[in-house]
């Protein structure tokens, strides 16, 4: 399963290679803060509970002409969304660390720097 680090995503935003950002978090979390240009399809709770059909029912909201990057709180449940998209024939990746990773990247926090090192070491 593919993943993308926050720094890699940031480099692609605003370019011809910009992916579609699918934020699966609950609507209130999305409204409290999201990556510019992302689309909210709030199926986080269903996916966390094992209900893949919740996202499958809403695939018509996801374009199939470019890569899709799934976003959740920490990147864990987004992996399930990425798997659903992969199974449906989409080119998909999970944002490593989710919004927590993205926010840490934007702030340049020590926690993000440590996670970033961990991601690089894992390959």
> Which among 33, 20, 29 is positioned nearest to 63, based on CA atoms?
20
- Per-10-residue mean pLDDT of the chain, 123 residues long, equals 91 96 98 96 97 97 97 96 98 95 82 71 69
Concatenating the DSSP letter of every residue in 63-89 gives -SSS-EEEE-SSSHHHHHHHHHHHHTT
Query: What pLDDT was estimated at residue 106?
Result: 83
- Sequence-distant (6+) residues with CB within 8 A of 78 are 24, 70, 71, 72, 94, 95, 98
CB 69 within 8 A of CB 91: no
pTM of the model: 0.89
Distance of CA 80 to the CA centre of its chain: 10
- Domains of the chain with CATH codes: 3-122 (3.40.250.10)
């Amino acid at each position: 399963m593919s993943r993308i680090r926050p720094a890699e995503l940031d480099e692609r935003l605003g370019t011809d290679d910009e992916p579609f950002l699918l934020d699966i978090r609950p609507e209130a979390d999305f409204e409290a803060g999201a990556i510019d240009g992302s689309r909210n399809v709030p199926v986080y709770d269903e996916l966390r509970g094992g209900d893949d059909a919740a996202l499958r029912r809403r695939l018509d909201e996801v374009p199939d002409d470019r890569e899709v990057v799934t976003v959740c709180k920490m990147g864990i449940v987004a992996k399930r969304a990425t798997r659903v998209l992969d199974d449906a024939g989409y080119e998909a990746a999970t944002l490593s660390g989710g919004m927590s990773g993205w926010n840490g990247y934007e702030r340049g926090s020590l926690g993000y720097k440590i996670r970033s090192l961990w991601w690089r070491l894992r390959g």
